[in-house]
Chain A
């Protein structure tokens, strides 16, 4: 029973264009969502988060959108840069167990020069 799903294992975009990474969740108790970025042979690094009381959070080139009714969130990267090429993980947590985050399987983003 996978509670956080990233249905696209990979995504390829041209430098300068927008990258859109998607994530769906099934647990209605989730109220905090995060995106992490991971390079090979390194641990994931926190990128951006959003609380369920918001529907959008922006940080520079990165914007996360949350659609609670659809249980869907997305990460937009614009403009995409070759250095953005990495695996992106979506994660979710519930206030009742705030310490534990449930991760998706990740989407490998390749930004072509």
Chain B
């Protein structure tokens, strides 16, 4: 399967714990994006990364959230000290350099904070 792989598919965390969401892009894609979908809402941009660089993190909350895309391995979205409002579906997408054919999305990680 050459698609974007996200894991885990479902993640349950208690308030105050850390959540780590992983994303392996399509092989050969140099760009990774994270989007969040809150219940009954659309996809909200969080962060855009290339290997070892954050290009645009304008949609990321200033505190508790961080993202990385290391030279080796998957991209990681990390949420520290989770709160109930962090419960959402988190989608990762990847693309090559050009934007003609849009993003390839993963199936998402559904985070539930209890």
Binding site for B on A (CB under 8 A): 6, 32, 34, 36, 41-46, 49, 89, 91, 93, 97-106
Assuming the A-B contacts A42-B107, A99-B31, A99-B48, are A104 and B42 also in contact, with contact meaning beta carbons closer than 8 angstroms in the complex? yes
User: Which chain A positions have C-beta within 8 A of B99?
Assistant: 32, 93, 98-99, 101
Neighbouring B residues of A101 by C-beta, 8 Å? 33, 45, 99, 102-103
CB nearest to B59 among chain A residues: A100
As a 0/1 sequence over residues 27 to 41 of chain B, the CB contacts with chain A under 8 angstroms (1 = contact) are 000010101000001
Pairs A–B under 8 Å by Cβ, sample size 15: A36-B105, A41-B107, A43-B91, A43-B93, A43-B108, A45-B105, A46-B103, A89-B42, A91-B102, A99-B48, A101-B103, A103-B43, A103-B45, A104-B42, A106-B42
The interface residues of chain B lying within 8 Å CB-to-CB of A44 are 43, 91, 103, 105
Within the complex, the shortest CB–CB distance from A13 to chain B, in Å, comes to 21
**Bound-complex Cα distance A93 to B99 (A):** 9
Whether B102 and A46, one on each chain, are in contact in the complex, defined by CB atoms closer than 8 angstroms, is yes
B8-45 interface mask toward A, CB cutoff 8 Å, 1 = contact, 0 = none?
Answer: 00000000000000000000000101010000011111
A43–B107 touching, CB < 8 Å: yes
Residue of A nearest to B56 (CB): A100
Partner of B104, one of A46, A89, A104: A46
Evaluate contact between A46 and B42: CB separation under 8 angstroms. no
Indicate if the CB atoms of B33 and A43 lie closer than 8 Å: no
Instruction: Report how many A-B pairs have Cβ atoms within 8 Å.
Output: 62
Contact (A103, B35) CB under 8 Å given A44-B43, A89-B42, A97-B56:
yes
B42, B93, B104, B105, most chain A CB atoms within 10 A: B42
Q: Which residue of B lies closest to A42 (CB)?
A: B107
Residue of B55, B102, B105 with most chain A CB atoms under a 10 A cut-off = B102
User: What residues on B are CB-neighbors of A32 within 8 Å?
Assistant: 99
User: When the two chains form the complex, which single residue of B48, B55, B101, B105 contacts A43, counting CB atoms closer than 8 Å?
Assistant: B105
The 7 closest A-B pairs by CB, nearest first: A43-B105, A105-B42, A46-B102, A103-B43, A34-B102, A99-B48, A44-B105
